[in-house]
Amino acid sequence: MKILITNAVSLNTGDAAILRGAIGILRNTFGNDMDVVVYDAKADTAKRHYPEFNYRPALYEQVRSAAKGRWRGKFAAVFILFLSLIWRKSLGRRLAYRLPPRLRDSLDEYARADLVVATGGTYLVPAYRLFPKIFDFMVTLLLGRPLVLFTQSLGPFPPGRDRLLLRWVLRRARLILVRDDASRRHLDDLGVPADRVAQAADAAFAMARLDTPPRRFPPAGRPLRVAISVRDWPHFRREPPAVGMQRYLAAVAKLTRVLVEEHGVQVTFLSTCQGVPEYWTDDSRVADRVVSLLPGAVRVHVTVDREFHRPERLIGLFAEHDMVVATRMHAGILALCAGVPVLPIAYEFKTVELFQSLGLGEVTQDIEAVTPESLEQAFRHLLAAGPALSAQIRSRVGDLKDSALGAGPVVRNALAA
């Protein structure tokens, strides 16, 4: 069985966890004889970090590279869509020979795929550029291949070209797996048939470690160890981004001081987007901005981890801590996979939906409104929750792992239908 996984962003360890989880779920369902090809915007760099995967450059990136120019790129994209429509006709075969060999081989690979899976995550949202993803979906459908969108959060979709194109594409997808009720409502607003939408937990939960001994929280006989994930966020809506970031960083700095000065904590800044120069951002640089706000006596108890870590390694590192303060949602998910309590800072609705389902809605902080006082209060609330919190997390993460693995049979049934 040949399966293509598209729209991958493997240089983000959170997205790499989604990819690894999704491939594991699909192998559990369809067997180990699957031939899996991963289309990633940074395929060459991704291959260095994950040599076990078979990578190709993302389709839209190939088209743009071959066209070499904005307007030529738009013309080339339209040409590729037309070519996809007539791919199996004699004219299509003749026109295909005018393409660069790698692009022609990729289109042929799409045409021969038994299943095209758009990776899970959060990329069909207004904050990001949508057309490259829509283009991939359109090529898949015009070639007559079954399209499945793996577990993700998406929407809302404001009026405009992208909404119209997404409406056409998503209504023709074989299956769309969503992580939350909000995404389901956004699809309903587009007129996507309800029987083509199913809900499941994020694919990264398939990596959860449930065979480890129960954790004691807070630990007995030693100070807490806390990891903190931060990120840059340029999409503040209520205030200028610079002002919003300043308030957010001040809140994290104040919590760091409380952790060190009142609880003797060794704090480590550790995140899912770091240590890869080819990626567009590095969370360790944001961590440096937090550390610069701390007095010298506190800084000696703070470490900034700048290294790249694969998902399984990151789970192991989080497991060495007693709590994770997570702005990156997948930093929170990988910490939960290790059985570690999480204090989330939400920059998109996906984080709010997840942690409300875990019974942690009360401590979830909105990046648009977080203050030093509210973040400190949330930490004290978690600390007071004590052993009951650890047991609650372990039980709920087990349910989420079952839900993530359950996406496989749903995909199989959709493909059979």
**Predicted confidence (pLDDT) per residue in 335-391, tens digit:** 999 999 999 999 999 999 999 999 999 999 999 999 999 999 999 999 998 878 888
Q: Is the model more confident about 212 or about 146? A: 146
CATH number at residue 137: 3.40.50.11720
Strand pairing partners for 303? 268
Residue 243 CB partners (closer than 8 Å, separation 6+): 236
**Does residue 127 belong to any structural domain of this protein?**
yes
Mean pLDDT for the chain?
95
pTM here is 0.96
For residue 386, the model assigns a pLDDT of 81
Mean pLDDT of the 303-319 span: 98
Amino acid letter at 288? D
**Does residue 220 belong to any structural domain of this protein?**
no
Per-residue pLDDT tens digits for 241-265:
999 999 999 999 999 999 999 999 9
Strand pairing partners for 57? 40
Domain range for 355 is 225-385
CATH number at residue 257: 3.40.50.2000
Per-residue pLDDT tens digits for 89-111:
999 999 999 899 999 999 999 99
- What does 341-352 look like in DSSP terms, one character per residue? -EEEEESSHHHH
In total, how many domains does the chain have?
2
Residues 117, 250: one domain?
no
Cβ neighbours of 216 (radius 10 Å): 12
From 279, 255, 277, select the one nearest 265 (Cα to Cα): 255
For residue 261, the model assigns a pLDDT of 97
Both structure tokens of 136: 């991939």
Give the Cα-Cα-Cα angle 132, 134, 139 (nearest 5 degrees). 95
For residue 71, the model assigns a pLDDT of 56
Both structure tokens of 283: 């969370």
Q: Is 144 left (phi over 0), alpha (psi -120 to 50) or beta?
A: left
Residues 234, 141: one domain?
no
Contact, 257 vs 291, CB < 8 A? Answer: no
Mean pLDDT of the 218-245 span: 94
**Does residue 185 belong to any structural domain of this protein?**
yes
Residues 27, 80: one domain?
yes
**Does residue 392 belong to any structural domain of this protein?**
no
136, pLDDT greater than 80? yes
Residues 407, 338: one domain?
no
Residue 185 CB partners (closer than 8 Å, separation 6+): 155
Phi, psi dihedral angles at 86 (to 5 degrees): -110, 20
For residue 174, the model assigns a pLDDT of 98
* Nearest-angstrom CA–CA distance, 84 and 78: 10
74, pLDDT greater than 90? no
**How many angstroms separate the most distant Cα atoms in the chain?**
75
Cα-Cα end-to-end distance for the chain: 17
* Nearest-angstrom CA–CA distance, 52 and 20: 11
**Portion of the chain with pLDDT greater than 90, in percent:** 90
For residue 72, the model assigns a pLDDT of 77
192, pLDDT greater than 70? yes
DSSP at 195: G
Mean pLDDT of the 186-199 span: 97
Residues 288, 319: one domain?
yes
Mean pLDDT of the 186-190 span: 98
Residues 21, 140: one domain?
yes
Residue 354 CB partners (closer than 8 Å, separation 6+): 179, 180, 202, 329, 332, 333, 344
**Does residue 215 belong to any structural domain of this protein?**
no
Residues 19, 162: one domain?
yes
For residue 70, the model assigns a pLDDT of 57
User: Confidence band (pLDDT; 50, 70, 90) for 216?
Assistant: confident
Strand pairing partners for 56? 39
Mean pLDDT of the 187-194 span: 97
Q: Helix, strand or coil for residue 226?
A: strand
Per-residue pLDDT tens digits for 43-72:
999 999 999 999 999 999 999 988 876 557
Q: How does strand 302-304 pair with strand 121-124?
A: unpaired
* Nearest-angstrom CA–CA distance, 417 and 412: 9
Amino acid letter at 375? L
